[in-house]
Structure 1
Amino acid sequence: MAYFVYITTNPAKSVLYIGVTGNMARRLAQHYDSRGNAETFAGRYFCHHLLYTEQFADITSAIAREKELKGWTRAKKDALIEEANPERAFLII
């Protein structure tokens, strides 16, 4: 099974959300369905547009990478995204 660390953003590309999942399509649908829901970070800030992904073979590595990325500065996260996705285009699964 594959696991993914991913970064989503809002339509204005002003907020980043980092998560981990074993089913990217389902997780993105959940983010989309929760938009406007003040009870979740992704919902509150409308973070349902995919900007970046990394794939892992085991969940332990994926969770470790998620925690690492969450500890980075915004500038470092932006540089990571722009290296893989220079136009910051919304990715489609």
Structure 2
Amino acid sequence: MPDRLMDVNAYTTLDFAEAVVTGYDFEEETAAVLNATTDREEPKCIRLQLELDNATEKHLPAHMEELQLAPDQARTLADDLEKYADRVEQARSE
């Protein structure tokens, strides 16, 4: 990923994921890094960070998105991810 803003290391949640970036007049598939983290000392929130590869046909400026989630929000997201993961696994097995 050129011009990466996020550090990718052994602790990164997903150092590669397939992503789609969509704008009003374009849609491009690209690679992404996704990370869930919090501060080691006195954590105040869960940070969900996403950075898409900016080496696309429609060059994207280097940028990173970050959501700051409360514990209940992180659990709601985790529940939905589990539910949809089950649905995809079931569809693949049929």
Structures share fold, TM-score greater than 0.5: no
Higher normalized helix content (fraction of residues) = 1
Higher-Rg structure is 2
Higher normalized strand content (fraction of residues) = 2
Q: Which has the higher contact order (CA 8 A, sep 6+)?
A: 1
TM-score range, shorter-chain basis?
A: under 0.3
Q: TM-score, normalised by structure 1?
A: 0.24
Q: TM-score, normalised by structure 2?
A: 0.24
